[in-house]
Chain A
Amino acid sequence: MLPPVFGVLFDGIAYGMLLFLLSVGMSVTLGLMNFVNLAHCAFAMFGAYVTVVLMKDFHWNFFATLPMAFAASALVSVVIERILYRRLYRATDLDQVLLTIGLAFMSVAIAAWFFGTTQQPIAVPSYMRGSIGFLGLNLGIYRLFLVAVGIAVTVLLVLTLEHTRFGAQVRAAVDNQRMARGIGIDVDRTFAITFALGSGLAGLGGALAIEIVGLDPQFALVYLVYVLIIVSVGGLGSIAGSFAAACLIGVSDIAGKYYVPQLGSFLIYLVMVAVLMWRPAGLFGRR
């Protein structure tokens, strides 16, 4: 028999996996181009709404909508990247922050226009609900599924980054962009693909998040704060960093709300400020 603290730990890690999916794309694009994309969660929200529409209006199966959420977010993000973002790669932090937060604000209003401000519930397949007992703990099946997806995505990303030609190009561009250009790597193309991949993962994260945290137009702004915290705590451009930071923040948030609910979100902000004071570049950051 395990004490209940392990149940809180499990919920926290499942929540952390969700946050990891939402934030890993932003971490890599920030590390690659130093581009601060505050509209990242707007892409996640887009993916979530794609899932809602496909399930409600077209009666698709929940699992069939997930690849579509990924693809739709990736596609939209790459269009916006080509039209708007690429002009600002050399602009100041402030300009990038302003443009992308502007896009995030617009996405909130557009979502409210089309879907209203109410929550959008979905019905995941019945076998995903409920929980299984394990050494005296009640583990939610959907949360187990989240952990599995999170670990699978991490393994896939690490393998891609470490063992493929494309991954080597990305690593070279993150480490030293000028040198990478100098030896003939098309950094712009690498970046566009990475950006689309990251946004796609965010869209997938958004779709998976509906069952846990719900979906309304404020999603793009509420989770932006979490994503920024994870990216800065984990260190830019580091997948392992994002993974560790997402688990840390997920567990802190759930544990804080479970044991000291009167403090609200105090704990995760405290964790973030403390980590950044100790290591300004994040847990796994090098710069």
Chain B
Amino acid sequence: MTTLDASRALTPQAYMQGLSRWQPIEIIFWLATLLPFWLFPTYLSLASQIAITALFALSLDLILGYAGIVSLGHAAFFGFGAYSAGIFSKFAWSEPISGLIAAALLTGLLGYASSFIISRFRHLTLIMITLGLGLLLKEAANSAHWLTGGSDGLQGVSIAPVFGLFKFDLYGRTAYGYSLGVLFIVFLFARRLINSPFGLALRGIRENFVRMPAIGADSRAHIRKVYTISAIVAGIAGALLAQTTQTVALEVLSFERSADVVVMLVLGGAGRLYGGLIGAAVYMIARDQFSGIAPQYWYFWIGALLVMVVTLLPNGILGGLSKLLKRWSRR
């Protein structure tokens, strides 16, 4: 979050422009995302998983970090997007980009419909409604065996090469390139959105839900919009997963996935554009490295991490880093 420097008087336009200026560190970050192609060619499948999860975390950041809507059921949109893309390729055609757009639109419709429910509630009721809707969708997908394959997962998804040129290979080169490209494009859009007056209004809603309407910004209308956008982004992430792995498991809708993405976002730093990206990368790499540990013990470290982040590092990794940087530059 940028604070206004009191010593320099800024016009609103100059302030908004200052927010959206590209920093050198951002350019370095995006160049670094290309490194796995040369440095870790055997880990490209993991890299593509990270890019997809980062996109999912970014979608949660839009509602949780910026608008203050705590959701424990965000996997609903991720899973819906995944099933949409999978079923689309099975029953329509296998071209990936049109499939991605179709999944995004369908998820957007679901998000728009549920946003009317979401915008009516706050606090614990809101958390429970998101949780309940997520669990409902999972149970629905589980019982609609004829369409989704139920707990056996959706089989028979096949995806044509991207642009008709790049086939999805075993090493994940295409998968990573494709996921990273989509992540970058959606990120540009999210960055533009957050650095717009609309993004400012969202932060206002996060800080004070009741006061925003008094200055002419209807909180509920804004929440409906951002919730729909967030659902679309989550749907795109899910569709990417379905297309790159060419299967959809029921797990895409699970409560664990919703909880994991909240953990990642908070670990990275909620309310920062790069928070979800950094959090997803750290979480996924750590889980890959510690995959030798049985999953029931893995959760001990996730739990310990959460307790430490809340008590010691309230704004996540990025919050801690920027604090350090400020202290360092003051000297």
Chain A residues with CB under 8 Å of chain B are 30, 36, 84, 87-88, 91, 93-95, 97-99, 101-110, 112-113, 117, 217, 225, 228-229, 232, 236, 262-266, 269-270, 272-273, 276-277, 280-281
Contact = CB atoms under 8 A, between A and B. Distances in A.
A103 B125 contact: no
Contacts of B133: 273
B297 A95 contact: no
A93 B307 contact: no
Interface string B301-331: 0111111011100100000000000000000
A105 B297 contact: no
Contact of B128 (A84, A102, A228): A228
A276 B132 contact: yes
25 contacts: A91-B310, A93-B123, A94-B70, A99-B307, A101-B306, A102-B307, A105-B303, A105-B306, A106-B299, A109-B297, A109-B298, A109-B300, A113-B297, A117-B296, A228-B131, A232-B124, A232-B128, A236-B124, A266-B136, A266-B143, A269-B132, A269-B136, A272-B128, A273-B129, A280-B120
B135 interface: yes
B303 A265 contact: no
Contact of A93 (B124, B135, B302): B124
B299 A108 contact: yes
Contacts of B123: 93
Contacts of B310: 88, 91, 95, 98-99, 102
Contacts of A229: 128, 132
Which DSSP category, helix, strand, loop or mixed, fits chain A's interface? Answer: helix
A-B pairs with the 4 shortest C-beta distances?
Answer: A102-B306, A109-B300, A105-B303, A106-B303
Contacts of B262: 98
A108 B297 CA distance: 8
A9 B64 CA distance: 41
A110 B143 contact: no
A36 B127 CA distance: 11
A101 B132 contact: no
B255 interface: yes
Given A30-B124, A232-B124, A236-B124, A263 B143 contact: yes
A84 B311 CA distance: 9
B117 to A, nearest CB: 7
Contacts of B309: 98
